[in-house]
Amino acid sequence: MKHQFVKRATVFAALAVCGMAAQAADWSDTSIGYGYGTKFQEPFNGTDISKSIVNLTHASGYKYGTNYLNVDMLMSDKNDPSSFDTSTEGAHETYVVYRHTLDLGKVLGTEYKFGPVRGLGITAGFDYNNKNDVGYNSKKRMLVAGPTLMLDVPGFLNISLLALWESNQPSGQAFNASPNGQVTGFGPYALPRYSYDVHPMISASWGIPIGTLPLSFEGYANIIASKGTDEYGFKTGAETLIDARLMYDASSVLGAKSNTFKFGVQYQYWRNKFGNTEATAGSGSLAKTPMVRAEYHF
């Protein structure tokens, strides 16, 4: 199972990269961003965690659809300790998201427009995560695919129904777990790659200008069904993640072209993070995190 998933993910990633390279972009937007908040939470922790997030984002459109790539590099303070130094060093995490949406109307030469919908698409992509926290050391791998509605609004608002094929292979240093999911003591541990049940997600992403003001409302929301039992035998819960931003375009003030420099506030609500419920993971399974954010677009 492990090798099949890795093989599928590798092939999918290669095809995605080739697709991006092979198609000439009609438009593109690449940015480097920085966010900071002090109220992050992690399952089985329950302590407020400060994190700095540096990210690289690329969005582009070509004749038949769009590409989206985001790479987050998350750096925690010592309240989310690293497996390398649990006393002074915070954990580091890399989270990669890639989505490709194929516009069926453009591919088939037919207009799919009805009510508030301006188009139909098929979305596919992957998530990749790697973290060196003391308790879990996540190595998430996930493929996604499903239909997308593109709504007729200023800017964009896309809503997708996606199937998720997710696995993980944790290897932490906080506790040992027996095959039936019982904690047996403290020390290093490693588990084989574990595949969760295939499960659905309703996903929305948006970027909407606010009238003629230099402001935009941006973000995404995911409602994810339970993925069955986890690698320790605990039942997972339905997951809700909402990440919303109000961004101010300060480019004209700084003497740059429009949408070059953006500053704003961000709020993230995450319930049952990665499927961990309060019953098994404590208060750290719920995070309500305000942040400040800055972006440079080029």
Q: For 245, which DSSP code?
A: E
Q: Which residues contact 175 (CB under 8 A, 6 or more apart)?
A: 135, 183, 184, 185, 186, 187, 189
Euclidean distance between CA atoms 297 and 21, whole angstroms: 20
Task: Look at residues 246, 279, 275 and name the one whose alpha carbon lies nearest to residue 263.
Answer: 246
pLDDT in tens, 131-169: 999 878 999 999 999 999 999 999 999 999 999 999 999
- The model's pTM: 0.87
Tokens 């949408």, residue located: 259
CATH of the domain at 65: 2.40.230.20
Task: Tell me the helices (H) and strands (E) count for the chain, helix number first.
Answer: 3, 15
Range of the domain at 216: 2-297
- H or E, element range at 10: helix 2-22
Q: Which parts of 44-153 fold into alpha helices (H)?
A: 104-108
- Please identify every stretch of the chain with a pLDDT value under 70, giving residue numbers as ranges: 1-23, 172-189
**What total of structural domains would you count in the chain?**
1
- Given this model, what pLDDT does residue 188 score? 61
- Given this model, what pLDDT does residue 7 score? 45
